[in-house]
Structure 1
Amino acid sequence: MADVVNVGVNLDAFSHAISGIQALRSSVSRVFESLKDGMRNRETLEGREKQFIAEFQDNLQAVNRDLNELERLSGLVGRPSESHPLHNSGLLSLDPVQDKTPLYSQLLQAYKWSNKLQYHAGLASSLLNQQSLKRSANQMGASAKRRPKVQPSTLVLPPQYVDDVISRIGRMFPDMTIELFRPNGASAVLLLDIWTKSQYQVFQKVTDHATTALLHYQLPQMPDVVVRSFMTWLRSYIKLFQSSCQRCGRFLQDGLPPTWRDFRTLEAFHDTCRM
């Protein structure tokens, strides 16, 4: 009878492995709770940073410790012997009395949770690599200090490329004056008067809409398309006082022309009509 029951699986190690999975889940939850809470409830900025980094490192070490323990237990569990039939244990998933034999449901939930953990851990790793802590290099050891800082590459463009893009846009809109200058080195900006506020309400609204458009047209992978799209949208104001509202059909409402331009169709609307 003992030969029939022994199917090559260490049930005691298996039970401890389930407990190890639960411990690993708890330690990972503490990591995300620490990230969610951040540096709140601290007196000074330096104290907040030091205590947050210390707690975060302790939680990561706990995850590593629980993961190593789980890997050790997984090696002790063993595997079922193929030479022995499963007999009634093969019907474990069909047992309707869940309160007596909940092992199958627990294993199923642990498997689903393990897959989700792996997926979210991959996302968290990529985000942490992009947004590293400001002072993490001081606490992560000498190897971390020698690690080169990753610079963003999507918005670092050669000056000649920027000049060519602005030159092409200037030829596309000959009725608009576009000037490019570099006040602080290689960073290029278009010549715009962004400090003086217009005394006319209509141009104040156009300025507000232009600020909104700058936030709307965002495509870091294709910056030339962003600039060209914004300039096309801005050029639609050339008929600011000649276009009627596409909804109400009026030229003026409360003494103002339609100052809003749709981002996709460039159609003119009053502020109240575009809602």
Structure 2
Amino acid sequence: MSTLIDLDAISAGLQAVANLRCEVNQLFYTLTNGFGGPMIDPTTYQPRAKDADEEAEIKFITDIKQNFDIINNQIKKLEKSCEHLNQNTSNTINLNIGMLGILAQDPAHERDGLYANLISCYRWFDRMHDYVSHAHHFYNMNNIYNRNVQGSDTLLRMKQMSNNYKPLKIAGRSTALSGINMPSNQIDIFFNSLTRNIPNLSLKIVRPFGSPTIAIFTLDKVLKSLLLLHGLIIEWVVVKGIDEDFYDENGKLDIWSESRYEIFKKVSINCISATHHFSSPIHYDIAVKSWMNWFASYQTLFNKPCLKCHQRININYKLPTWRDYRTSDAYHEDCHF
């Protein structure tokens, strides 16, 4: 757990230090003035004559003794506060870091701060562990990504992955879509059947890097998109204009370069966000289908107005590039919040 420090002891110690400094300042002020008052007349700025009055000398000695007594009392209060703080700190801090404590005895100057840094790092990780525990509790309360999966379906998926991928059928739905371990021919069949259900969408599948699949979609005469797939898991999305290409000057596929148009850069960011929204740890096929159906809504990128402000171009001269994840309605970036 995090370190507990007695704030009352710290406050009392700081107050004792302030009082001690004040009394020491008063002592030096008394010594400077002497028993005859200030040596310099504040009105004429001329040296004063020394007063040999016995009463003034007695009063001066008495003031000095009182100042020393007060200073001694303040020092005792400060020592008590420090002792109390050390006791509480030793009771609350229990850093068990083994033989690392010997590092504090290293005489090398460049290594003197190593032990203190280790203590600070240990406390930081300790606090981080507490924060992660609380965050884990709150995330478990969120049921957005919780899926109702039958236990038999999960067991069959685990079994088929261990049996070198043997497709099975349950309740009319294929459980062979095991995500990462899906064969290339099955991926081709899956996307070909999916694109047939989406109008004005053409597909091109290439594998220039071996196992990873590159799916290039052309959505009507609006835009192009490139999907980097690891099995059925979408790992990267790039969207470009219909007049742009995904190949460089040497004819090699370039999957990282962005579009030169700001509107398609914004669409790319929204598509990447959608992959996280529709992602599923088990139903990879449903996640890809949901994403594809959502992506098809960009056919109306240039002619569908914003649902909120009912304008195609807002005051910032921007089109509605945001699409709602459930209804696929068009919104401006400033309107969908």
More helix, by proportion: 1
Specify the structure having the higher radius of gyration (Cα).
2
Query: Normalising by structure 2, what TM-score?
Result: 0.35
More strand, by proportion: 2
Relative contact order higher in (CA < 8 Å, ≥ 6 apart): 1
